[in-house]
Amino acid sequence: MSRSLTIAGLAVLIAAAILAGQINLGHAASSAATATQTSPTGTATETVQTEPGLIAAGKKVYRKCAACHPVGEGAGHRVGPTLNGIMGRAAASAEGFKYSPAIEAKAREGLVWTPETLDAFLTAPYKFLPQTSMSFAGLKRAGDRAAVVAYIAQFSN
């Protein structure tokens, strides 16, 4: 009896360790990589990923964005526009936000925010959009970008 309890206790510990691993950033990066290889619906950059572990990781990455970009119910603009509804939307189209001429010019050329264009922008904002007023150096790690895109996509439903 006490022996089986010990085994049950061990199983709980192992399960907890696995769960803890899932919200770890490093793991999210590797699960994003896996999705890239196995996604049946196209390349991972064109598909919003919805794994809970990835979204949890994206929430952490989003701390870098949150001060400038409020999201969620009732979020307004701050230094940057709210990113509510960003997915599938034309660039520079959040009502009531004063954008730079640089992003407005890109929007006239037809820039629409998709997982793919968001990934490109977030990799190197100043390269993608020279003269943007967004002062942010970019996210070097593909896993961080996939995670943050998965996170913000939640506010586009």
Residues that bind ligand HEC (CB under 6 A): 64-65, 68-69, 79-81, 83, 86, 91-92, 94, 99-100, 102-103, 113, 118, 122, 132-136, 139, 148
Q: Supply the angle between the helices 52-61 and 142-153 in degrees, to the nearest 10.
A: 100
- Residue 83 amino acid letter: L
Minimum CB distance to ligand HEC, residue 32 (Å)? 15
What is the residue-wise DSSP string for 23-67? TSHHHHHHHHHHHHHH-TTS-GGGS----HHHHHHHHHHTHHHHT
CB-nearer residue toward ligand HEC: 14 or 71: 71
CB-nearer residue toward ligand HEC: 6 or 135: 135
CB-nearer residue toward ligand HEC: 11 or 67: 67
CB-nearer residue toward ligand HEC: 26 or 101: 101
- Long-range contacts of the stretch 66-70 (C-beta < 8 A, 24+): 68/134, 68/136
Minimum CB distance to ligand HEC, residue 47 (Å)? 18
Tokens 């979204």 sit on residue: 55
